[in-house]
Structure 1
């Protein structure tokens, strides 16, 4: 069975889905192929924070485009977007210095950022512990989504409104250039022809091009997260990012004081060993998602990260979270880990084969925030439009 498309996208996560979106908006005939019954990778195993504020200048530009797109789609179709803003909470003078410097950077970039005093932080963030906070930086335009719901609704929107064709539970076993086009073969025997193919999933990249994958600089990060039971009579607005986030996120690396402050950090702490930075986000049902940790391995050695949760890490994160925000209850209902790939020496992995097959993966933790903006530019480049 052969069908002709302008574009076949392999991988139905947020990166592949927004490539499909921008291709459809340009009037292209698009097939999106997803190996699972529903997307279940990094796109669904994260906080659902859309925070361009945490990115360096290049990726903030993509993230700001993404913000606008999320909001535009939400006006047409409910994909769970809530515009409640983000707040970075500084716990000491070093972190306060970094957020003051970031505020100046964002003023120059014409991206709204509001410095908050200790008193203002305590007013806008219920339960925030007075002994923790020195001040804060608020980005009122930023949004949250429900990651396990958003991607399914985005697919439904593109099928219903934009005419997307999706094949779930479809594994691609072969992909090659053929007479100026690209041909893909499925495990069920179907074959599809397209002018272009974009591979947006590390698993398919590994199975379809194992030699190229082995030579890549991809590494995998394992992140542990938790979700409380719904909190009674408690509302936490937007995303709350704390002192360790300030010391970790790429945006702050552009601050003049960043390098010196990082050099003064303790190197042997549990926080450093497990790559922990404490985040909070309240879900629609009133529960609070918190975490997370980061453990790394080369993509070829992903098994070294294990398939179980490390309860020592979870206990450490809960104890640290309690020092920051006092919730009505810290009883945990769900625990999970997510995996995402990233490049050791670049911001995203890209490779083109015979001008017809494009591999783009390894977007790392930038996926939920940066994919929509990046995909718009990438589709324009591939199709010269």
Structure 2
């Protein structure tokens, strides 16, 4: 039995859903296949931080800005709860403060990052002085934060209800050929097939994906409860992130930050630890993360890594936290570029992220891919 569509999409994570949106809003008939009963991969295990400020100048910054607009459309049309107040990146050391100063004086102006540097009384006013023990805070005005576990299902409901996208959950796609998908729910035909399989590099299109030499990154993450109601409305980061994010990492001033980390806390560098904190709608905090790269994510967490993350979070927040949940984040990593859109056969493509910013750039990346496939200019 065959069912014909304009586009068949494998994977209901943020990339799959973004491609479905880009196609369905043009009036195309779209089907999405997801092997689990609900998305369980990178798109729901993350911080829900859609960051513009951290992206490097050029393509990634432009994609993040365009994705911000798409998230805004989804918030309006799908009822997604999105905090659009921006982020705070706290400088804890003189080196981190000097790096943020240099960024604001140069690159931020040159490339149009919407930021402001808060110090002194302005920093003291943030959350009633809760963060005044830092030297400075970079307020990234365009950054957004959402709760992925609720946002992804809400986006699925919107695509199904308002745009007519047909979803097949608990359905494994076993094989693909041009114009046809073979799954546990039957065979389906379509003009275009897009595989958005996250970090699964072996089930579908294994040979062309292997040529990219991608890896998997696993992260240790926590959900915690503070003893006081912080009422956080922003994503939080520290200067540790400056050596990880392309907006800052190649500036000359970043070398001093890296030197300080290697001298004072080499374990943070060794485990790829930098602090991210996101509020949940329930007033709890998502805290992470570490970075461990390889061909397969290890199932074993190190308690010491969690302890370091908790220590960093408590230093930044100025209060203790109680852990209520622990899990592993996971995403595709270390390909030839931040992402790949490859053609495996006529009408058969794969869309893969090679870094952990799918929520930040995925919506606009998919829009661009669909526009290209349809021959639009």
What is residue 348 of structure 1 aligned with on the other side? 339
1:235 and 1:203 mapped to 2: Cα distance? Answer: 34
Q: Does 1:84 align with 2:85?
A: yes
Q: How does 1:148-167 map to 2 (within 5 A)?
A: 148-167=149-168
Q: How does 1:66-77 map to 2 (within 5 A)?
A: 66-77=67-78
How far has the Cα of 1:266 moved from its partner?
Answer: 1.4
Out of 48-57 and 67-76, give the one that drifted further.
67-76
What is residue 43 of structure 1 aligned with on the other side? 43
Aligned CA distance change for structure 1 residues 230 and 136 (closer, same or farther; 3 Å): closer
What is residue 222 of structure 1 aligned with on the other side? 218
Aligned CA distance change for structure 1 residues 126 and 365 (closer, same or farther; 3 Å): farther
How far has the Cα of 1:318 moved from its partner?
Answer: 1.0
Task: Say if 1:95 and 1:247, in contact at 8 Å, map to a contact too.
Answer: no
What is residue 10 of structure 2 aligned with on the other side? 10
Q: Does 1:272 align with 2:272?
A: no
Q: Secondary structure at the match of 1:293?
A: coil
User: Over the residues paired in the alignment, what is the CA RMSD in angstroms?
Assistant: 2.0
What is residue 310 of structure 2 aligned with on the other side? 318
What is residue 114 of structure 2 aligned with on the other side? 112
Q: Secondary structure at the match of 1:41?
A: coil
Task: Say if 1:126 and 1:235, in contact at 8 Å, map to a contact too.
Answer: no
Q: Does 1:309 align with 2:301?
A: yes
How far has the Cα of 1:264 moved from its partner?
Answer: 6.4
Task: Say if 2:95 and 2:256, in contact at 8 Å, map to a contact too.
Answer: no
Q: How does 1:47-196 map to 2 (within 5 A)?
A: 47-57=47-57, 58-103=59-104, 104-125=106-127, 128=130, 130-131=132-133, 133-177=134-178, 182-188=179-185, 190-196=186-192
Find the partner of 1:359 among 350, 366, 372: 350
| 1:198-243 C-alpha deviation (Å, 9 max, x unpaired) | 0011465411233334333101111111111365432223111101
Task: Say if 1:282 and 1:288, in contact at 8 Å, map to a contact too.
Answer: yes
1:311 and 1:260 mapped to 2: Cα distance? Answer: 29
The unaligned stretches of length 5 or more in structure 2 are none
| 1:333-360 C-alpha deviation (Å, 9 max, x unpaired) | 1111111012343111332023310011
**TM-score, normalising length: structure 1:** 0.91
| 1:57-81 C-alpha deviation (Å, 9 max, x unpaired) | 2211111111111112212221121
**TM-score, normalising length: structure 2:** 0.93
1:265 and 1:219 mapped to 2: Cα distance? Answer: 25
1:81 and 1:379 mapped to 2: Cα distance? Answer: 25
What is residue 244 of structure 1 aligned with on the other side? 240
How far has the Cα of 1:293 moved from its partner?
Answer: 0.7
Q: Does 1:368 align with 2:359?
A: yes
1:319 and 1:203 mapped to 2: Cα distance? Answer: 30
The unaligned stretches of length 5 or more in structure 1 are none
How far has the Cα of 1:111 moved from its partner?
Answer: 3.2
Task: Say if 1:128 and 1:324, in contact at 8 Å, map to a contact too.
Answer: no
1:203 and 1:289 mapped to 2: Cα distance? Answer: 22
2:198 and 2:233 mapped to 1: Cα distance? Answer: 34
What is residue 289 of structure 2 aligned with on the other side? 292
Task: Say if 1:13 and 1:41, in contact at 8 Å, map to a contact too.
Answer: yes
Task: Say if 2:35 and 2:172, in contact at 8 Å, map to a contact too.
Answer: yes
2:130 and 2:240 mapped to 1: Cα distance? Answer: 16
